[in-house]
Structure 1
Amino acid sequence: MEQTLLNIEKVVLPAVEKRGLDLVDLEYIQEGGYLYVRVFIEKEDGDITLEDCGGLSNDIDEKVDALITHKFFLEVSSPGVERPLKKEKDFVRFIGETIKVSLKHKLNDNKNFEGILENFQDETLFLNVKGEVLEIPFKEIKKSNIVFDFSDI
């Protein structure tokens, strides 16, 4: 599945960029007996529209279909309010936000942290966890995402 995901990315990324969008994440997974290709996109300067999602879906549908021999569902959407942080530029963009981070190896006897992203520089993120600033190397991050405060709604 890993190689298929890389092949999908090779055909999806140019189409995403051609539309002036950013590829946030890409999934090729099996859930409940069905295969899914999920493409998560965003615009740095605005909200994703239904037209953005539908247009990109039309652009990539046949190309992705040619890569996968099994029946699958193609989904194109925004990443949502608790979007993943995957690239270094994501961490720079969301300085000041509350995030969750899961690490590959333990730091201070823990692999999971939630705090305010204070800075990102020199491939290191600075995460304020209850007043203590942790320095976490980018290469140690297994998974990370924005934490949305639903109490503000």
Structure 2
Amino acid sequence: MDLNSLIETTVTGLGYELVDVEMSPRARTIRVFIDAPEREGGIDVEDCAKVSNQLTRLFEVENIDYDRLEISSPGMDRVVKKEADFARFAGQDIQIKIRIPQNNRRNFQGELLGCEGGKVALRLKQDGKQEDVELEFTNIEKARLVPRFD
């Protein structure tokens, strides 16, 4: 089993959602982002400690060599990776970078309208005009929520 699968199995087994895993070069630092979507307050320090303790034991048993393990909430500008997340965060602002350009663009920012049938719908607003676009889910390289501070 690869490291990401080990981490995901452990995190979901503890009742959390695995949002993302980042590794530094040579996997010396492992950053794990977790969430508890059904809980209103989200993740707290105790949740991070619980996951950290469990992963530390797991890495010891599995003989995984690393220098530092960091557990964190995904934050307000969270990464969006799964199709279900694109549907879940509909109505929020998002920044998306795609692999293969569409209409000579790779970067899009606007209101996320949702995800259906492998297509992510966005409403772009520029110069007082609105334009709805659809992006192929499989063409998305990176996506991140953009917090609103109204």
Normalising by structure 1, what TM-score?
0.86
Q: 1:92-112: CA deviations, max 9, x gaps?
A: 100001000000011111100
Distance 1:119 1:11 in 2: 30
- Native 8 Å contact 2:96 2:108 kept in 1: yes
Residue 146 of structure 2 is matched in structure 1 by 147
Q: Does 1:126 align with 2:121?
A: yes
Q: Pick from 49, 59, 63: which aligns with 2:58? A: 63
Q: What stretches of structure 1 of length at least 5 have no aligned partner?
A: 1-5
1:41-120 correspondence runs (5 A): 41-46=34-39, 47-65=42-60, 66-69=62-65, 71-120=66-115
- SS of aligned partner of 2:28: strand
Task: Find the aligned partners of 1:142 and 1:87 in 2 and give their Cα distance.
Answer: 12
Of 50-59 and 10-19, deviating more is: 10-19
Q: CA deviation at 1:62?
A: 3.0
Question: Is the 2:88–2:114 contact (alpha carbons within 8 Å) kept by the matching residues of 1?
Answer: no
CA distance in 1, matches of 2:74, 2:22: 12
Distance 1:50 1:120 in 2: 32
Give the letter for the 1:56 counterpart.
V
Query: Root-mean-square deviation (CA), in Å?
Result: 1.7
Identity rate of aligned residues, in percent? Answer: 33
Contact 1:7 1:67 in 2 (8 A): no
Kindly state the Cα deviation for residue 53 of structure 1 after the two structures are TM-superposed: 0.6
Tell me how far 1:72 sits from its aligned partner: 1.7
The runs of at least 4 consecutive aligned structure 1 residues that moved more than 4 Å come to none
> TM-score scaled to structure 2, two decimals?
0.88
How far apart, in 1, do the equivalents of 2:5 and 2:120 lie?
28
Task: Give structure 2 stretches of 5+ with no counterpart.
Answer: none
Q: Is the 8 A contact 1:24 1:41 kept in 2?
A: yes
Structure with bigger helix share is 1
